[in-house]
Amino acid sequence: MDEKIQVLDLQIDNLTAKDAVKRVVSYMETELVNVVEMVTMNTLAKFQQEEMAKELFDSFDIALASDKGMLEAAGETDERRLKEVDELLFIKMVMRFLHKNSARVFLLAEDDADLQKLEMYMQNDYSNIQVVDKATMQEKGTSDDMLLNLVNGAEAECILSALPSPIEEQFIYRNKSLVNARIWLGFGNLLDELKKEKTGFQKIKEFILRQLLKKEMAKKGENA
């Protein structure tokens, strides 16, 4: 299996959930932070016209598709791969790993509502994970220095980030070399999908984004 696929002009890792988790396990033994990003349809839409998008995505250690539509648009036909992406199996497996190992984790979200969702998700299913500290941009502002001081002071092994695109990707791109942790897990806005609480509007929006992605991919193929 190719480990990279091209979606529009961006490179995304085509790893099975099991192989991606193996990499995360190895990252827990490193000194420098390793960035693992879940790429959503919304992320692709936000970064399609960004000049720095390719450089930004290349800086991530792992960038995984969170929607099977991305794989389908890139020509993936393996039903097992499509199913595990559709079920967000990687997130479930990596959370079980953190739970089993009582990992020290810092929680980061945009506002109190998103932080509460993240906390409830962990309390219900992964209560053995140690939350050493937490913060929201709503509370602490958008100052990189302020958030970095808080994150680094917590001495966490892993940062679980539920920041939306493009805030999530741009923040870690600017500050990767300054983060004192072993893993940065960027989940974006996937908590509702994990808990199956998406609204009808969200489903319609995602359907439209899938169709636009397929059209863009087809157009690029014709012009190649």
Q: How confident is the model at residue 64 (pLDDT cuts 50, 70, 90)?
A: very high
Mean pLDDT estimate for the chain:
84
Task: Provide CATH code, domain 4-223.
Answer: 3.40.50
Q: What is the DSSP letter of 67?
A: S
pLDDT for residue 138: 81
| Strand ranges for the chain from DSSP E | 4-7, 10-13, 34-39, 62-65, 104-109, 130-136, 158-161, 183-186
Give domain limits for the chain: 4-223
Q: Which residue has the higher pLDDT, 111 or 42?
A: 111
pLDDT for residue 198: 47
Residue range 33-45: mean pLDDT, rounded: 88
How far apart are the C-alpha atoms of 16 and 167, rounded to whole Å? 27
pLDDT for residue 223: 56
Q: Which residue has the higher pLDDT, 183 or 210?
A: 183
Backbone dihedral region for residue 161 (phi beyond 0: left; psi -120 to 50: alpha; all else: beta): beta
Model confidence pTM above 0.75? yes
Question: ω before 166 within 30° of 0 (cis)?
Answer: yes
Q: Which residue has the higher pLDDT, 203 or 21?
A: 21
Q: How confident is the model at residue 57 (pLDDT cuts 50, 70, 90)?
A: confident
How far apart are the C-alpha atoms of 143 and 11, rounded to whole Å? 29
Which of 174, 126, 133 is CA-nearest to residue 152?
A: 133
pLDDT at 211 over 80: no
- Sequence-distant (6+) residues with CB within 8 A of 22 are none
- Please classify residue 2 by burial: count the beta carbons closer than 10 Å to its beta carbon, then call 0-12 exposed, 13-18 middle and 19+ buried: exposed
| In contact, 72 and 124? CB cutoff 8 Å | no
How far apart are the C-alpha atoms of 146 and 191, rounded to whole Å? 25
Q: How confident is the model at residue 24 (pLDDT cuts 50, 70, 90)?
A: very high
Q: How confident is the model at residue 209 (pLDDT cuts 50, 70, 90)?
A: low
- Sequence-distant (6+) residues with CB within 8 A of 195 are 117, 121
Strands of 158-161's sheet in order across: 4-7, 10-13, 62-65, 34-39, 183-186, 158-161, 104-109, 130-136
Q: How confident is the model at residue 196 (pLDDT cuts 50, 70, 90)?
A: low
Residue type at 189?
N
